[in-house]
Every structure is written in structure tokens, then in C-alpha cells.
Amino acid sequence: MRDGFSYRREQMVSALRQSGIQDHRVLSAMAEIPRHYFVPPEWRHQAYSEDVSIHIGEGQTISQPRVVAAMTEAAALTAEARVLEVGTGSGYQAAVLSRLVQFVFSVERIASLAREAKGRLDALGIENVSIKVMDGTLGWRAQAPYQAILVTAGAPSVPEPLLDQLAEGGRLVVPIGERRQQVLTVVERRGDRVRRSELQGACFVPLIGRHGWEESSE
Ligand SMILES: C[S@@+](CC[C@H](N)C(=O)[O-])C[C@H]1O[C@@H](n2cnc3c(N)ncnc32)[C@H](O)[C@@H]1O
């Protein structure tokens, strides 16, 4: 889609490529989705800075393009995949995923953010994303199993229900660590065994919920 931000978007994608993102499907999806649409108007000039997260209200943020790209690439998605995203936020990550897989289920605990995200996706004509307001640390059991699960808020440990809802061979990408500083971790499910690998450091807002952090200690 050509718009007034096309040139900046191309520059962002080229910076992502130079920073080591190799999956051309991920880069194409990010070249296509108008990220400026997902940030408040006063921050649009920053929308394509590859290393900047931006406040979207309710104390939450849209993650840096660099982190979105790294998480999406690490999920090793196929076109037939059904994917769960925990932490809809602005809806940007869900929009990127919508270009790469068959269906995206995205859950958000803050109703106003979920509503705004749905409005943006509808306006862009994106039809393969379903958003639900709930505690995403419980997953979305009715739609499981998922070939990939992306958690876009920082967890103290791997939420057990998410592991249960991962398909055989599926990948869970989740930032694990402290409330404000984590390590992006990839958990792969092979039968009864799981293989864990660490990707890079990250600074996500906390994952609040039954299998995450307590809200009161924010
Ligand atoms: C960094 S933001 C997500 C960015 C988002 N993926 C995007 O593309 O804009 C983290 C989001 O996770 C949400 N969140 C935190 N704990 C949650 C939970 N237990 N279930 C669902 N959403 C949660 C926050 O409300 C916030 O919107």
C-alpha cells in the first residue's frame, strides 16, 4: 500500500534487514502494514524508527519494529498456521501476523485497547484476526492448538496453559524475566519434551494475570 509514509517504511525494512532479520516474508509483511496507523497521531513521525517503542495509552506500548520482526521470525510461521498473540495492544503485531498465517487469535486484558485495535484492523480490511478481552495467561483454549504463540508482554515464567495449547512442533515466543526487563525466549514443543532457547534481551511491559505478574504490585 503506497501512502505518505512509504519511503520511511522502506527505510525501516532496510534497517531491519541490516540488523539481521532474514525472513523475506516477515520483511514483506512489515513493508506492507502501515505502522503509523497504529500509533497516536502526535507520534506518527516516530512510527518507522526501527528501535523505538511508543506509548499507546493505558500505560501500554507498541513494541519496537526490531522486536516485532525478531519475534515473528523466531515463530517460524507457515501459511497454514493458526497463531495466538497474547497482548493485542495497538493491533500492529496482529496485523503483521495476519499477512503470514491463516488465522490470528489475539487476546488483550484492557477492553479500550482491544476495541481500538479492532477498529484499526477493520479499517485496513484485515479479516483473519479475532480479538478477545481476557486474561491471556490462560490462553484461548477453545481455539487451540496453535502452531505458534507470541506473548508480547513480559512474564515471570512460561505460563503453563500456553504450553498446553501449543501444537506438536509449535513454538512459543515469550519474554521471560523481571517486570521491566526480560530475555526473549523460544520454547519449542516436541512430544512431552520442550526445548528452550534464548534470543535477545527485551524490555516489555509486564504480563498481568493468573500465570503472570500481580496487578497490585505494578
Ligand atoms: C507491549 S504491549 C503489546 C504490543 C502489541 N503486541 C502491539 O503490536 O501493539 C503489551 C500488551 O499486553 C497486554 N497484557 C498484559 N497482560 C495481559 C494478559 N494477561 N492478557 C492479555 N493482555 C495482556 C497489555 O495490556 C498491553 O496492551
Strands (E), 81-144: 82-86, 103-108, 129-133
Encode pLDDT of 84-116 as tens digits.
Answer: 999 999 999 999 999 999 999 999 999 999 999
Encode pLDDT of 196-209 as tens digits.
Answer: 999 999 999 999 99
Cα of 43 from ligand 1 centre, angstroms: 19
Contact between 137 and 210 under an 8 Å Cβ cutoff? The reply is yes
Encode pLDDT of 107-148 as tens digits.
Answer: 999 999 999 999 999 999 999 999 999 999 999 999 999 999
- DSSP for residue 155: B
pLDDT band at 36; cut points 50, 70, 90: very high
For residue 145, say if its preceding peptide bond is cis, omega within 30 degrees of 0: yes
Residue count of the chain: 218
How far is residue 171's CA from residue 186's CA, in Å, rounded to a whole number? 7
Strands (E), 109-151: 129-133, 146-151
Query: Choosing from 63, 90, 98, 106, which is the catalytic residue?
Result: 63
Q: What kind of fold does domain 57-202 have according to CATH?
A: Rossmann fold (3.40.50)
Cα of 71 from ligand 1 centre, angstroms: 14
Which atom of ligand 1 has the smallest separation from the CA of 90?
Answer: 9
- Mean pLDDT (the chain) is 96
Judged against a pLDDT cut of 60, whether residue 217 lies above it is answered with no
Encode pLDDT of 76-88 as tens digits.
Answer: 999 999 999 999 9
- Which residues make Cβ contacts (< 8 Å) with residue 201, sequence separation at least 6? 181, 182, 183, 184
- For the question of whether the overall pTM of this predicted structure is more than 0.75, the answer is yes
